Amino acid sequence: MEPSDSGAHYTAQSTSEVGQNQATTNQFQAYYPTETAQPSISKQIGGLSGHPMTKQITEFMKQRNVIYATIISVLLISAVVLMFMIPQSTEPIEGTWIKADGQRFVFDDDNGFSNQIYPGSTYDLSGDDLIMTSTVQIIDNNQLVTKLIVQTVEVSFSDDGKAMWWIWQSVAVDNEFQQLDANACSLLIKTSVAKNTFEFGVNAPDYQSDKPSICQ
């Protein structure tokens, strides 16, 4: 009996079909997603932490924190320096005061001092010592002359800061000292308490207990 070639024909046909199937599979394989295992979240985070860009960002943040800390330190130091540079307030002398005769004295916060007699003067308060410096023009022998007047007093304030006593120390006109009465004292009251001589007379007794002993 002659051998049948149907087996060979089947084998060849099967091989051809397998090849075609493989070719078809390979042809469309690019369109199919690869079935590879996805990395876990912990591995992803670990990979990010070791990434060069992550290291650069970390270093940048550290440097930025150092810069912020430096800026804050400089600002704090500057604020402290400015506090010491600001001149101390001359309170409670700042404000407008009135004497028993109605004369008013104005002491500004910029060390300016004025009254009806000596406008545009300056003052300096150091502790209890008040120095008032004035430049005035007067008529002397029908001539207009300029005089420098320096008044020095020891000041004492009432407990509420509304009354002030002047204990006269010296008055110099062009460096020539003038004669003063012994234990000469003057009471001044802030205009917030007494606006005229009548109110001055009414309120002055209220400060009798604060009056310095040298003015008794």
- Whether 157 is in a domain gets the answer yes
Q: Are residues 198 and 132 in the same domain?
A: yes
- Whether 62 is in a domain gets the answer yes
Q: Are residues 78 and 140 in the same domain?
A: no
Q: Where are the beta strands (DSSP E) in the chain?
A: 95-99, 104-107, 112-115, 121-126, 129-140, 143-157, 163-173, 176-177, 185-190
Q: Are residues 54 and 125 in the same domain?
A: no
Helices vs strands, H then E, count in the chain: 4, 9
pLDDT band at 134 (very low <50, low <70, confident <90, very high): very high
Q: Are residues 103 and 147 in the same domain?
A: yes
Q: Is the pLDDT of residue 31 over 50?
A: no
Give the per-residue pLDDT at 36. 46
- Whether 29 is in a domain gets the answer no
For the chain, the helix, strand and coil percentages under 3-state DSSP, each to the nearest 5: 40, 30, 30
Q: Are residues 115 and 63 in the same domain?
A: no
Q: Is the pLDDT of residue 168 over 50?
A: yes
Is the bond leading into 39 cis (omega within 30 degrees of zero)?
no
- Whether 13 is in a domain gets the answer no
pLDDT band at 184 (very low <50, low <70, confident <90, very high): confident
Q: What are phi and psi of 182, to 5 degrees?
A: -65, 135
What range does the domain containing 63 cover? 38-86
- Full DSSP string of 12-31: HHHHHHHHHHHHHHHHHGGG
Answer yes or no: are the C-beta atoms of 61 and 53 closer than 8 Å. Answer: no
Q: Give pTM, 2 decimals.
A: 0.56
Residue type, 198: F
- Whether 105 is in a domain gets the answer yes
- Whether 125 is in a domain gets the answer yes
Percent of residues, the chain, with pLDDT higher than 90: 46
For residues 212 and 155, give the distance between their C-alpha atoms in angstroms, rounded to a whole number: 10
Give the per-residue pLDDT at 55. 67
Last residue of a domain, one of 86, 111, 146: 86
- How many C-beta atoms lie closer than 10 Å to residue 136's C-beta? 15
For residues 147 and 214, give the distance between their C-alpha atoms in angstroms, rounded to a whole number: 31
Q: What are phi and psi of 107, to 5 degrees?
A: -115, 115
Give the per-residue pLDDT at 160. 93
Q: Are residues 211 and 113 in the same domain?
A: yes
What's the average model confidence in pLDDT over 10-21?
48
Q: Is the pLDDT of residue 6 over 70?
A: no
Q: Which two structure tokens, joined as six digits, stand for 136?
A: 């005035």
Q: Are residues 99 and 145 in the same domain?
A: yes
pLDDT tens string 68-127: 667 776 676 766 445 544 444 457 899 999 999 999 999 999 999 998 888 889 999 999
Q: Are residues 188 and 102 in the same domain?
A: yes
Q: Are residues 108 and 201 in the same domain?
A: yes
- Whether 20 is in a domain gets the answer no
Give the per-residue pLDDT at 142. 87
pLDDT band at 157 (very low <50, low <70, confident <90, very high): very high
Give the per-residue pLDDT at 120. 83
Number of domains in the chain: 2
Q: Is the pLDDT of residue 140 over 90?
A: no
Last residue of a domain, one of 51, 86, 121: 86
Within the chain, what is the greatest distance between any pair of CA atoms? 170
Residue with tokens 């400060």: 207
Residue 125's DSSP bridge partners are 130
Least confident of 18-27, 49-58, 129-138: 18-27
